[in-house]
Every structure is written in structure tokens, then in C-alpha cells.
Amino acid sequence: MRERPDDGSGFLFVSQKGGALTPVQWYKVFRAATIDAGIDANRAHPHSLKHSLGYALVKANVNPMVIKQSLGHRAMSSTAVYCGVTDNDASTAIKTSLMSIF
């Protein structure tokens, strides 16, 4: 963004003509970039960004209700998909919590 000149469009990604990308154009650009990066073609879709954000927010210990609202979920059960906890995650969280209490 620092290198990109301000074209006055207000769009992050622009078409060759300088306007907003259509959803189809955005999908094609995203898919090509993710496949070039070595991401499995079955996961090379823009919705994967929403999933990545969900997992990253959980890993950052963001309140699940905030995550729910941020992702636009109606039901907490949709957000709970991102909240899987490994034994290592649980152990680390308990140790950290106990150290802050005592």
C-alpha cells in the first residue's frame, strides 16, 4: 500500500480500468493467488479468509461472543466450530491462568 499511488478510487483492489472488482473478478484473482501459493485448490476460495480469521481470533483469546458478532454468525454453534481446543492449548491456558492468580 505504501508503494501504490493514491488513485482516488477508495478501493483496495481495482480492475484494470480502475473500478471496483466484481465478485467474479475477485474470486479469480484470489483463487489464482492461493493456488500459486501452494494452497489446496479445494480450499482456494475467499470464504477461507473468514475461517482463517475465526481461528486466529480464537487463538488470540478474543471473547467468543465478539468473534460471533465479527463473523456475522446468528448462532453461537456456528462460531464454536473455531473453538476446538487441543490438550496442549488447554494445558498452556490453565498454567497461564494459575500463574496469574497465584
Which pLDDT score, from 0 to 100, does residue 1 have? 63
Q: What is the tens place of the pLDDT at every residue in 53-88?
A: 999 999 898 999 999 999 999 999 999 988 888 899
What mean pLDDT, rounded, does the chain reach? 87
Question: Is 0.85 topped by the overall pTM?
Answer: no
Which carries the bigger pLDDT value, residue 56 or residue 9?
A: 56
What gap in Å lies between CA 79 and CA 73, rounded to an integer?
Answer: 7
Q: 54, 71 in Cβ contact below 8 A?
A: yes
**pLDDT for residue 102 is more than 80:** yes
What gap in Å lies between CA 64 and CA 47, rounded to an integer?
Answer: 20
